[in-house]
Structure formats: structure tokens, C-alpha cells
A and B are shown apart, each in its own frame.
Chain A
């Protein structure tokens, strides 16, 4: 039987670990709250932009009245040969299966598109590390592709303090490649976040734009019920509301933007406005998916740390019980020795 000192030492170590996981849980909860706020404050802009674009579609004759073909390259569908995939993972681990799930979804996507040329833009250190081990990395000097799947870019450490300017520059580069015809479509693989319990792992098509204001989901995966329950528990313990935030007032105001029943004067021609606004729309889509991924990451870490803490609780209970039993056994043994010693005299 193990001795008391060992068990006591073990308990102390588990207790220390529990302290750390508890602290990490609290940090994640605070970050989650902030991430949720940021995702929320990005909404009015996105919606207003969508409104303007929608109202411009009819005025600017974006679609050729005779053939129905779009006149803007970002709307045009072409056969998919070269695909760009933006995979949004986290910079840090210890978030349960968060990163692994995203990477799994990415590999499923690669498998479904076998035979096509796939470029990866890796956002987040975890994804980057894995892709770098699996696939060759493109270098500026290379003239030939290293393989059907290769990483072309990485974005490390940007998720902690994501700025729209960064995303805009990134998406300008992507749009540039798209208009040049180097790539035929662009997908984002990320963890969508509507609320703590409403999350999906999705592959969303951002280019070409199929319908303005509508999400085009190529592949989606719901979170398991068990995982959802765990998340709900963790969120409740941390005092985070489960439902989606009430955004009706905000949405109503945003919906009124540029849709008043009046004849607007246009400083620029609707066609020109549309052309200039569309790239911003793409940037906003990518920005939103990153914000949601950040919120999901913190939610996942919070959940993971919550269950780690409760596992530690359980372990401490078990060890304490074992320790008491050993101690009791030792005392009993000593008494027997004394008693039998006395009886022998």
C-alpha cells in the first residue's frame, strides 16, 4: 500500500493544477465576454454594407439584363480548379478539441476536393504548425508548385488583437489573386459562433459571391449534444448568458441604412459604388469569421478548463479517501500490535 506521504504530495500537486485550470477558466470567460462584444459591434457595419450593396444591385445593372451574367468579376462563377482555403485555428492550445476539429474539417475538405489545386492560408499558430509539417510551403522564388496542396501564407499572433485594417490588407491580397485568375474560389474554414451553445464548424464560400447578404455554407458540422451541455454548464458557472444577445434595436437601425424611400442623389454612379464596395464586403466577411472563431476558441477553452477543474476535484476526493484509509489501516495495525504485545505478557 502506498504511504501517506506520497499520497499527500500527490494531493498537493493536483490541488495546484486545479488552481491553474480554475484561473485559466476565469480568464477565458472574461476573454469570451470581450470577444462576444466585439463580434456584436461588428454587426451594424456589416449589415449596413450589405444593405447598400443590395439596393445597388438593381440600380447598377450588375447583372446583364439579357444573359443574366454578372458584370463584376467577384460575382462570376468559373470552373473550380484552383481553390484558396483560409483555415482559422487558434494561436494557443489547451482548448479541448477546438483546433483538432478545425484541422479535421480542413482535411475532409481537401479529401472532397481531391484532384484540384488547393492553396492554404493558415490563420493561427496551431493550424500553421500542422500544415507546415504536412504540406510544402510556397516561397516567393519558386516557379513550380511543390504539390497539389501547399500553404501560401500564415497569420500568426493576429487573433489576440485583431484589427480590421489587418484583415482588409489580407483580403485585398486574396481578391487580387482572385481577379487575376490565380484562384477560382475562396473558402473559409472556421468555428461559427452564434452563442455559447449555438456553434457550428463550417466551410463557408466567400468568393465568388453567390448571393449578397447570404452565407454560402459548403460543409457544416453541429457540435455534439454532450459537448453543448458541457459548454452550457461552464458558461453558467462563469455567469455568461447562453442565448444570443438581443440585437433587435441595433439591427432595426442598421436595416434602415440607405433604404429610405427617397430618391437619393448619387455622387458616384451606382456601378462605380458597387465596384468599390464589393471588396469591402469580402473583407467584412472574413473579419466576421475570424471574430467568431476567436469567441469560439475562448468558449472551448473555458469548457475544457471547467472539466479539467472538476476532474481535479474528483481526483482530490479519491486521493483523500485513499489517504484516510491508509492512515486508518496504519493506526489499526499499531493498536493490534500494542494489544497483542500486552496479551503476550
Chain B
């Protein structure tokens, strides 16, 4: 059985991450999934959340907002709309986005706007959370 996983994180803008890892947790739409080498083939949608993985015994954190993952026994490929490693997150921007989203939530008119503001708030929160974990 495979001992490691190949990880690839791809966004529309670029290839974010390519690494050999020991284990990974991904934010599935219906809850977090922990994946070890040799996992059964799986396809899942990702929600807004954080990806945690370990490579060479070190933990890494990546914030994602909506994505899609394919898991194979020796490989994990993640398509994410946005993916940022903890150290690359612009905390100031995330904080501003959060304030904006909160503002919109208070004044939102209509169901759609409300939903969108909620999603935006979610995204900003995750970014802030992940950013705190940077070394």
C-alpha cells in the first residue's frame, strides 16, 4: 500500500500547491474528511473551509472557498476556486471583507443578496482563522 499521497491544488489562476504528503483533511461539503494513503476513490464537493495536511511531519494550512476534490489511493487533486496558504493570506483584506459582509448582512434586501453576503462572511472568517495558524 502506498505510504504517501501526491497532492495537487489547482485554482483558475494557477497551480497553488504540488507536494508529497502523509495525510490531509479536506473540508467536504457535508463535513471534514480525513484522508490517508490508500483511501478508496472518491469525488466530493468542497465547502468553504481549511485544508490541513502534513508533509515531512510539518503541518500546513490552506484556506479554500468552494472546490472539488478527487481522491485516489495515491493521489489527491483539489480544484478550488480560491486557495491561499496561511502565510500568503492578506489579513487586512480579509478583515475588511468581513466587515463588508457584515454590513451587507444588516442591510441586505432579498434572499439572494442575503445568501451571498453569508457566503462572503464565511470566506472571510475562514481566511482569518487560517491566517492565525501561520508560523
Contacts and interface: CB of A to CB of B under 8 A. Distances in A.
Interface of A: 38, 41-42, 44-46, 48-49, 52, 163-165, 168, 172, 176, 257-258, 260, 262-268, 272-273, 276-277, 280, 284, 287
Contacts of B56: none
Contacts of B45: 267-268, 272-273, 276-277
Q: Which are the 4 A-B pairs with shortest beta-carbon distances?
A: A267-B44, A164-B12, A262-B41, A41-B14
B104 interface: no
B54 interface: no
Contacts of A273: 43, 45, 68
Contacts of B12: 42, 45-46, 164, 284, 287
Given A41-B15, A164-B12, A280 B43 contact: no
Contacts, number: 78
Contact of B68 (A165, A176, A277): A277
A265 B43 CA distance: 6
23 contacts: A41-B14, A42-B13, A45-B11, A46-B12, A48-B79, A52-B68, A164-B12, A168-B81, A257-B70, A257-B77, A257-B79, A260-B72, A262-B72, A263-B41, A264-B43, A266-B42, A266-B44, A267-B28, A267-B33, A268-B45, A272-B45, A273-B45, A276-B45
Given A45-B79, A176-B112, A164 B43 contact: no
Contacts of B101: none
Nearest to A272: B45
Contacts of A49: 68, 79
Interface residues of B, number: 26
A163 B65 CA distance: 14
Nearest to A163: B13
Contact of B77 (A48, A164, A165): A48
A44 B72 contact: no
A284 B68 CA distance: 14
Given A42-B13, A165-B81, 5 more contacts: A41-B14, A265-B41, A267-B28, A267-B43, A280-B81
